[in-house]
Amino acid sequence: MSNAVPDPDEVMEADYQDRVADEPLDDFDIDVGNANMEEELQADKTFGNREGTPIPEDTAPANQNGDMDVTQVSPQKPTPSVVVNNPSAVDIENLCQTYTTHSLLIRLQFIADHCPPLKRDATIGMINELRNNTLNVARYSELMSSLEGIEKQTDDQNHLETPVLDQAWVDQTTLKTSNQLDFLLSEYKKQKDEGVKESTRRAMDELFQYYLSIGDINEALHLYSRGMREYCSQFKHIIQMWINWMEASIWVGEWQRVDTIAAQAERSMKEAEEAESQAGSTAAARTRPVIFGVSSSTSSRAAVTKCTRLLVNSGRAKLDAACGLSKLQSGRYKQAADRFLKVDLDFIDMPWLFSASDMAVYCTLCAIASYDRAELKKKVIHDGNCRKFLESEPKLVELLQCIIKSRFGRALDILKELKDRFLLDPYLSPHVDPLYAVIRERALLQYLEPFASADLNAMANVFRTDVKSLENELVDLCEQGQLAARIDAVGATIRMTRTDEREENYKKYVYLVLFFFCFISLY
């Protein structure tokens, strides 16, 4: 089995060779050996404009597939106007038990920035996490200082006990990190000079984990870009390397790099599967018949195959989740839904970057914004993986049922009820309004589909709006070419202007006859 790992940064821009070895790679570095990935990244840069100029986020239209023509959106740079004053939107205590350290810190910081009633609890949650599970003394001290200036809310809105500065921990950890960094750097240099790949990989990985523990994720990524892949000689180390690299890239919002890493990781897993299958066939052909029991070589081969299969399944589940999130960030909602539906939660150890509830939310919103009712039934409601997501989210199950059964009023009520929670998700927040807009447009079109005419008063009641606002929405749909109808503002009705099917068929026949005679006249 070949353990050669493809280098995602080998074939880059022409001037890459002139860079210093320690320079971090550019976000738009692409493996030109993967044509599909190159096309997708290029599409992100020149997303839908003939001149190649990116379309501004606030003016990008939505197409009928629910894919928004917008440039890449980073969750670390949400819309500044997002402010949620609902203290019950999220449960901070539950949040602290759901995610791993860096994912939790990102989410709590986002909540602290955008939900004033929860700012104090979110800050306390970050302080506790930093104190218990990291070596990030600087961030801990900064948050302890800022906590004093945060206004305390009413008693029923504060659930976490106010911490006291642990100066002993600060002093001990500061000394420990200083000594540990010196040791890890010297060990890494020593192993690298000796040229033993496995020892170098281990030293490099320990240094990577150290940088993460002190909160220096960019330095951790910098370390990996120096050539971590060159020192991975076993398949399990290769997979873990890609996953670590991908997770760190997500934490800092480098979505272009996530796509590139995912493509290379999938290639590595595919090569491993093919090599394992070929090795298994060769071993089976060489194995002699055993009269009693099973030969040791056969059982050993089966154990190795099972281990490889578990690694591949776990890695693929995490890659699908990360790729789905990456598609979501770039506004490709249909592609995001397709990737989320592939995620098998059985192979992801929780807590992780995302929870099962997060997968349910991302998948449901992207699917409703992209799929028609038949696809929702087949791909979501009747899908085994998606049912695992939805087990803990009965509101989302009801939302899907309402969309499928055309109960749009109740569906909009559920979306409104859940909106504050969605706005406090750092990865979903920038896309809540675009997704809601696409879902509403699709609901309007589905509502009108079976009717020749409809009463705007009744329709306004269903869509929780007034007649004038509804008329404006319908006019916009007509101007976009998504709806062919005439609106009677006086009578408050809308009449569909569908083309007569017989007339269309007649025109087709005329065109065919004309084409036939033109063809005959040439001879």
Instruction: Give pLDDT tens digits for 17-53.
Output: 333 333 333 333 333 333 333 333 333 433 333 333 3
Same domain, 441 and 458: no
Same domain, 245 and 274: yes
Same domain, 446 and 457: no
pLDDT at 502 > cutoff 70? no
Same domain, 346 and 262: yes
What is the per-residue pLDDT for 146? 93
Would residue 218 count as lying in a domain? Answer: no
User: What tokens appear for 301 in the block?
Assistant: 């081969």
Helices (H), 134-233: 137-147, 167-194, 197-213, 217-225
Distance CA 111, CA 125 (A): 11
Same domain, 398 and 374: yes
Single-letter amino acid, residue 224: Y
Distance CA 181, CA 192 (A): 16
Same domain, 243 and 141: no
Higher-confidence residue: 264 or 67?
264
User: What tokens appear for 479 in the block?
Assistant: 């101007």
Q: Which domain holds residue 273?
A: 234-281+303-351
Distance CA 37, CA 260 (A): 7
What is the per-residue pLDDT for 228? 83
Instruction: Give pLDDT tens digits for 155-179.
Output: 555 568 899 999 999 999 999 999 9
pLDDT at 193 > cutoff 50? yes
Same domain, 320 and 365: no
pLDDT at 424 > cutoff 50? yes
Would residue 127 count as lying in a domain? Answer: yes
DSSP letter for each residue of 349-413:
PSSBSS-HHHHHHHHHHHHHTT--HHHIIIIIIT-HHHHHHHTT-HHHHHHHHHHHTT-HHHHHH
Would residue 260 count as lying in a domain? Answer: yes
Indicate the pLDDT class of residue 358, thresholds 50, 70 and 90. Answer: very high
Would residue 490 count as lying in a domain? Answer: yes
Same domain, 464 and 510: yes
Higher-confidence residue: 328 or 235?
328
Same domain, 347 and 238: yes
Same domain, 417 and 405: yes
Residue after which a domain boundary falls, among 408, 426, 450: 450
Distance CA 192, CA 412 (A): 59
Question: Which residue, among 318, 322, 184, has the nearest Cα to 257 in the 3D structure?
Answer: 322
Instruction: Give pLDDT tens digits for 116-138.
Output: 999 999 999 999 999 999 999 99
Residue after which a domain boundary falls, among 450, 468, 488: 450
Same domain, 412 and 474: no
Task: Kindly provide the b/e burial profile for residues 177-210, where b requires at least 16 CB atoms within 10 angstroms of the residue's own CB.
Answer: beebeeebeebbeebbeeeebebbbbbbbebbeb
Task: Kindly provide the b/e burial profile for residues 272-296, where b requires at least 16 CB atoms within 10 angstroms of the residue's own CB.
Answer: beeebeeeeeeeeeeeeeeeeeeee
CB 136 within 8 A of CB 130: yes
Per-chain mean pLDDT for the chain: 81
Number of domains within the chain: 4
Residue 259 in 3-state DSSP? Answer: helix
Rounded average pLDDT over 490-498 = 89
Indicate the pLDDT class of residue 405, thresholds 50, 70 and 90. Answer: very high
Would residue 45 count as lying in a domain? Answer: no
Helices (H), 117-166: 119-133, 137-147
Indicate the pLDDT class of residue 297, thresholds 50, 70 and 90. Answer: low
What is the per-residue pLDDT for 508? 79
Residue 458 in 3-state DSSP? Answer: helix
Would residue 23 count as lying in a domain? Answer: no
Residue after which a domain boundary falls, among 165, 192, 223: 165
Q: Which of 67-71, 171-175, 341-345 has the highest mean pLDDT?
A: 171-175
pLDDT at 14 > cutoff 70? no
Write down the pTM of the prediction. Answer: 0.77
What is the per-residue pLDDT for 271? 84
Would residue 184 count as lying in a domain? Answer: no
What is the per-residue pLDDT for 499? 62
Same domain, 424 and 439: yes
The region of weakest confidence among 237-251, 306-320, 431-445, 506-520 is: 506-520
What are the φ/ψ torsions at residue 227 (nearest 5 degrees)? 130, 35
Would residue 59 count as lying in a domain? Answer: no
Indicate the pLDDT class of residue 102, thresholds 50, 70 and 90. Answer: very high
